[in-house]
Copies of this chain bind each other. A is one copy, B any other.
């Protein structure tokens, strides 16, 4: 298959995502945060300022039950705490713990450095263009 064939695009997108995420998770594991999965990183990002399970589900595009299960895993990992909402007795607000904040910072640093490696390999302009194109293509 021609490496630049349109048909290889789904494969390339998936491979690029996996490559990025695997590299970051390997590094997080080495830095004392083992067991992090792709969904955990996205969820932590979504939670970062605090939100309920239902909101988390909306942000991740999954059901509230799925979001609750993810939040449970993050709680078990010591990355998130469940706190009461003083304005709504039904609601449980998910908030990152200190360790969760540490993880978010390390994760962000690892992503940025991994992408910096890409920039060094294929050129700044290529990655800038990649970001612009993907943004344009996904905002519809």
Contacts and interface: CB of A to CB of B under 8 A. Distances in A.
Nearest to A122: B136
B12 A138 contact: yes
A7 interface: yes
Contacts of A135: 3-4, 8, 12
A12 B134 contact: yes
Given A13-B16, A126-B133, 14 more contacts: A6-B111, A6-B127, A9-B20, A9-B131, A12-B134, A13-B17, A13-B134, A16-B138, A121-B136, A121-B137, A122-B136, A126-B129, A129-B133, A130-B133
Nearest to A126: B133
Interface residues of A, number: 41
Contacts of A6: 111-112, 115-116, 127, 131
Contacts of A20: 9-10, 13
A138 to B, nearest CB: 4
Nearest to A3: B135
A88 interface: no
Interface string A1-39: 001101111111111110111000000000000000000
A140 interface: yes
Nearest to A10: B20
